[in-house]
Structure 1
């Protein structure tokens, strides 16, 4: 009986881990696209310990842009949920086409230490 419960618990753990292991990257119907689109511009975002290289980055609405992430010091990432953008050292670039203007908060997606919560910048999408 104990052996059967152990197998059941192991199987459940494997299923949970498999469900969490997906990349979650797909083209959304809200105007954002994946790397299959051709970018007419490129934006490089650099991160070092507890800061991004610029306080804000500017993009144009409706213009495809390849966003490239560079980690210059420490272990960091980029997260902008409203633009369906998440980059790190493993997935360091993505082409997006912003479909709405506005200011979007960009934060570090990898816990990097005591200054992690203050590692914030903005992406501003202009008309």
Structure 2
């Protein structure tokens, strides 16, 4: 009886882990339907207390797909001007910038002592 229960629990755990892995892979492979084929791509690479670039440039009126990649720590990215909030559950967003200027992107998940300094800028030309 104990062996059957342990076996059943092991199978349930294996199925749960397999389902979680497949869900993650799908979101990484297809961030937004049709976005990869056209439009501008911005990849925010986040490490502890910094993004990989001080600014990202895009063109006004053209769709932008923005993707967050965490390579160290747990981070988010907020681009309030265009209502974009990326985190572990939502790693991509597509929007069309309708105005020019410089717009701050900040880390939206408290990531430690350097969190307040974790900023970059989206420049729309």
Flag whether TM exceeds 0.5 (same fold): yes
In 2, Cα distance between equivalents of 1:36 and 1:116: 32
Cα offset for 1:36?
6.7
Q: After the TM superposition, which residues 1-127 of structure 1 pair with which residues of structure 2 at under 5 Å, given as runs?
A: 38=35, 39-126=38-125
TM-superposed deviation, 1:37: 7.3
**Unaligned segments of structure 1, at least 5 residues:** 1-34
RMSD: 1.4
Higher helix share: 2
- What TM-score does the superposition give when structure 1 sets the normalisation length? 0.68
Aligned length: 92
- Report how far residue 89 of structure 1 moved: 1.6
Whether contact under 8 Å (2:40, 2:58) holds in the other structure is no
For structure 2, the 5+ residue unaligned runs are 1-31
Query: What is the TM-score of this pair, normalised by structure 2?
Result: 0.69
Contact 1:76 1:112 in 2 (8 A): yes
